[in-house]
Amino acid sequence: MRIAVLSRNPKLYSTRRLVEACEARGHEVTVLNTLKCYLDVASHRPSVHYKGKALEPFDAVIPRIGASVTFYGAAVLRQFEMMGTYPLNESVAITRSRDKLRSLQILARAGIGLPLTGFASHPDDTKDLIKLVGGAPLVVKLLEGTQGKGVVLAETQKAAESLIDAFKNLAANFMLQEFIKEAGGSDLRCLVIGDRVVAAMQRQAKAGEFRSNLHRGGTASLVKITPEERSTAVRAAQKMGLNVSGVDLLRSNHGPVVMEVNSSPGLEGIETSTGKDVASMIVAFIEKNAKANKTRTRGKG
C-alpha cells in the first residue's frame, strides 16, 4: 500500500514509529508537511499538490494534525477524502473532537459519564454558574487550550469568582468543570483502535500539580482498567467517529468520567509504559479496513 502521514515534523516519536511500522510491514510511506500541501479545489479532479507537483494517489492517509493547525489540516485531509483516499481518522471526526464543547455535548447526549460542566462567555450571574458544577473547588478551561495549557484550578469560591471575572474581561469562551478530588491528580489514557482498547496507562501529576499531562512533568505507568472503563473509552471514541484515539478518563466516586477524546494521541508514553507496539496495531487496522472511497462523509463535512 501507498500510505501518507500528515505531520509537520518527521522526527517526532509518533511520526517515526508510524513510518517504521509501515515500512516493516512492506508498505511505501511518505511523510507530508501538512502546511506545505496546497489544494486544487475548483477542479473537477481534486488534487493535493506538494513541492510543485500533484501527488500520486495514496491508498491511505494517517493524519497527525497538531491542534494549532486543525483548520488547515482538516482542509487538506478533506481533499484526500474527496480523492477517495482512506483516512485513518476522518476530517469531520477530528474537528468534532478538537471542539471541546461540541465533543462534550455529543458525549452527554450519548449518556457517557462526564464531570459536571458549565459553559459561558459573559455570564450575568457568576455565583449561579459556579453552582452548576457543584461549587469550588472547580476547574476553569479555555476552549482553545491543549496539553494542560489554559486550565486553572480555583480552590475557593472567591478564587473561582475572580477567575471567571478575569476570563470575562478577556472576552474568552470558557468551561467550568467539577474538580474530581478523588482522582488524586491522576488520569487514565486509553488507546482505542477500532472497537477495543489496545493499551492503557495511568498518568500521575507531579507534586503540587493537578494536571497529569506528560508535557507538564507527569509520569506514566502501566495500569489495569475495569470493564466499565474499557467500555466507556470505546463508546466515547465511537461517538466521536474516531478509528484511533486516546480517551482520557478520571476515576470518580460515581464511575469513570471522560475528560477528553484525543484524535492524534502521542505514542511515546503509551508504548513506553505498556511495552506494546501500538504503531504496528494502527497499521494493521489500516490494512484490514482501507478501501477506496471508504469515507462516511466523502469530504463533505
Inside any domain, residue 66: no
Residues 152, 141: Cα–Cα separation, whole Å: 6
The per-residue pLDDT for 269 is 92
**For the domain that residue 138 is a member of, what is the CATH number?**
3.30.1490.20
Statement to judge: residues 170 and 186 lie in one domain? no
Grid cell at residue 130 = 459556579
Inside any domain, residue 102: no
Inside any domain, residue 139: yes
Task: Give the CA count within 13 Å in the CB-facing half-sphere of 122.
Answer: 3
Statement to judge: residues 139 and 197 lie in one domain? no
Statement to judge: residues 156 and 212 lie in one domain? no
Q: Give the sheet arrangement for strand 28-32, strand by strand.
A: 28-32, 2-6, 60-63, 86-87
Statement to judge: residues 141 and 215 lie in one domain? no
Inside any domain, residue 122: yes
Statement to judge: residues 153 and 188 lie in one domain? no
- Among residues 146, 179, 212, which one ends one of the domains? 179
Residue type, 82: M
Of 126, 125, 277, the closest CA to residue 191 belongs to 277
* Average pLDDT, rounded, for the chain: 90
Statement to judge: residues 209 and 271 lie in one domain? yes
Cα dist. 156→69, 159, 259 in Å?
Answer: 36, 5, 22
What is the percent of the chain with per-residue pLDDT over 90, rounded to a whole number?
A: 72
- Among residues 164, 179, 194, which one ends one of the domains? 179
The per-residue pLDDT for 183 is 83
Inside any domain, residue 213: yes
Condensed to tens digits (0 to 9), the pLDDT of residues 16-66 reads: 999 999 999 999 999 999 999 999 997 788 999 999 999 999 999 999 999
The per-residue pLDDT for 149 is 64
**For the domain that residue 200 is a member of, what is the CATH number?**
3.30.470.20
Statement to judge: residues 187 and 241 lie in one domain? yes
Statement to judge: residues 131 and 154 lie in one domain? yes
The per-residue pLDDT for 184 is 83
- Among residues 128, 152, 179, which one ends one of the domains? 179
Condensed to tens digits (0 to 9), the pLDDT of residues 147-168 reads: 556 788 899 999 999 988 888 8
- DSSP sequence for 232-263: HHHHHHHHHT-SEEEEEEEEETTEEEEEEEES
The per-residue pLDDT for 253 is 92
- Using only C-alpha atoms, the chain has a radius of gyration, in whole angstroms, of 20
- Total structural domains within the chain: 2
Statement to judge: residues 169 and 247 lie in one domain? no
Instruction: Look up the domain containing 187 and give its range.
Output: 182-275
Statement to judge: residues 143 and 191 lie in one domain? no
For residues 155, 156, 159, 160, the Cα torsion angle rounded to the nearest 10 degrees is 80
Residue type, 227: P
Statement to judge: residues 169 and 199 lie in one domain? no
Inside any domain, residue 69: no
Inside any domain, residue 141: yes
Statement to judge: residues 195 and 237 lie in one domain? yes
Inside any domain, residue 85: no
Low-confidence ranges of the chain (pLDDT < 50): 298-301
The per-residue pLDDT for 298 is 47
The per-residue pLDDT for 208 is 55
The per-residue pLDDT for 299 is 44
